Amino acid sequence: MSAGQWPLFEEYMSRKMEEERIAGAAVAVSRHGELLFQKGFGVRDLETKEPVTPDTVFGIASVTKSFTAMAVMQLAEEGKLSIEDPVNAYLPEFSLASLEDTSSVCIHHLLSHTTGLAPIRRREELCRLSDHLEYLAGEPHELLGRPGEYFSYCNDTFLLLGLIVERVTGRLFRRHVTSRLLDPLEMNRSTFSLEEVKRLSDVSVPYVKDSDGNGLKRADWPLLGNYEVGGGIRSNVRDLLKYGQLYVNGGYCQGENIVSEASLRRMWHPVHKIGRNTYYGYALKSTLGREGMTLVEHGGSQPGVSSHFGFVPEEGIVAVVLTNVADVPVRDLWLAAVRNALGLPLEQQEKEPEYEASVEELERFVGTYACAEGSSVRITFAGGMLQAEMAGEQFALRASDSRTLVIRKHEMPLPFFWKEGEKAWAVLLGSRMLTRKK
């Protein structure tokens, strides 16, 4: 890769940041451990105009999940647990008000978001992981199906992995992950602790878009509580490159084996199909791309955070993009960085197939879908046009097959699901299954 192609990427980044009103972003890319590119764009604070650097600390949100999964894989290697074990083997109190027999829920299901539980109302005031067991048992949360039948994000079951880690090791979850991953990798500017973040210099200010979508408002760092298990690390692109090297270097860091290559490969091994060529594994999703290359990745979103991390194992490429604005298309920026490293066009869009749906087929999608966590989408059909209304915005849709709609602006597929009857009962919006409400 010639150095001359990265200026084109910088121009692309500047243009996209202006279009999407992104205050600050940092990007880093390496290949077989050799740094290809790293740079900060924009500002970390709109008031002081201090610039973003490759060391700027951002939230990484759900990119944290792969750290948790890796910590569990380490414990499995040491014989302290088995991925196939039922959750009740480590958390005897675990029960779900909606599921009569929880003995069929295994650690595998927690890791892959296939417990069968829909996204539920967040309880960020809960700070002891054991308190979440009472929450899960105490209310009849919506059930999608039996364990393993459906994929859907459920942060409230994923965080039980943190409690399993605590029960097995006798240490607080955040202390265990810090000592077993952050410290050995010398991720010295990465932490779960907001108190430590306040003590660091070069830290981003989180922003959210205002109600009219034309400006940005400063946001507080979310406290998260128990949800830190799936979203609590604050980090920077330099540190995350070190983490990414584990995946493309067989689990080794500076000659020390942190985790086995077999465990790493199992993390991105397909568990459940979530797209036309995309599968979710253990806190990572994989897509077979061009010329047999695999894109392995995961994103994250919180107030003031849009993040994306991933790698191409066949090419030894690791790429990270972090921003300080919520709800921006950060994956597009990440894909452009990866494509540039591979010598491909920056904006080569991944397109879903074209499909001419009948009026009867299109009407089957119409309805309002939502989950208790707060996400919702309303599908309407008028004048021969399908539209989706999300977060106060309207998006034009098209069909790519008899069960999938596509958001035209982002070429984002929305797979729908049928059980009985003429209308869909659920839609997979990103990583969350939303069920029909009307």
CA–CA gap between residue 223 and residue 125 (Å, rounded): 8
pLDDT, tens digit (0-9, with 9 covering 90-100), for 385-437: 999 999 888 999 999 999 999 999 888 999 999 987 789 999 999 999 999 99
What does residue 194 show for φ and ψ, rounded to 5 degrees?
Answer: -70, -30
Query: Given a cut of 90, is residue 257 above it in pLDDT?
Result: yes
Query: Given a cut of 70, is residue 382 above it in pLDDT?
Result: yes
- The pLDDT value given to residue 290: 65
pLDDT, tens digit (0-9, with 9 covering 90-100), for 5-62: 899 999 999 999 999 999 999 999 999 999 999 999 999 999 999 999 999 999 999 9
Which candidate, 411, 423, 357, places its Cα nearest to that of 384? 357
Strand partners, 426: 417, 435
Structure tokens, 98? 């909606």
pLDDT, tens digit (0-9, with 9 covering 90-100), for 71-102: 999 999 999 999 999 999 999 999 998 888 89
State the burial class of residue 209 (Cβ atoms within 10 Å of its Cβ: 0-12, 13-18, 19+). middle
Measured between alpha carbons, how far apart are the two ends of the chain, in Å? 52
Q: What 3-state DSSP class applies to 187?
A: coil
CB atoms within 10 A of CB 347: 11
Distance (Å) of CA 279 to CA 110, 113, 115, 159, 389? 16, 12, 16, 21, 26
Superfamily the domain 1-350 falls into:
DD-peptidase/beta-lactamase superfamily (3.40.710.10)
Percentage, residues of the chain above pLDDT 70: 98
Listed by start position, the domains of the chain span 1-350, 359-436
CB atoms within 10 A of CB 287: 17
What does residue 285 show for φ and ψ, rounded to 5 degrees?
Answer: -120, 150
- Is the CB of residue 217 less than 8 Å from the CB of residue 208? yes
- The pLDDT value given to residue 210: 87
Q: Which amino acid is at 282?
A: Y
- Is the CB of residue 16 less than 8 Å from the CB of residue 333? yes
H-helix or E-strand spanning residue 27: strand 24-31
CA–CA gap between residue 200 and residue 60 (Å, rounded): 16
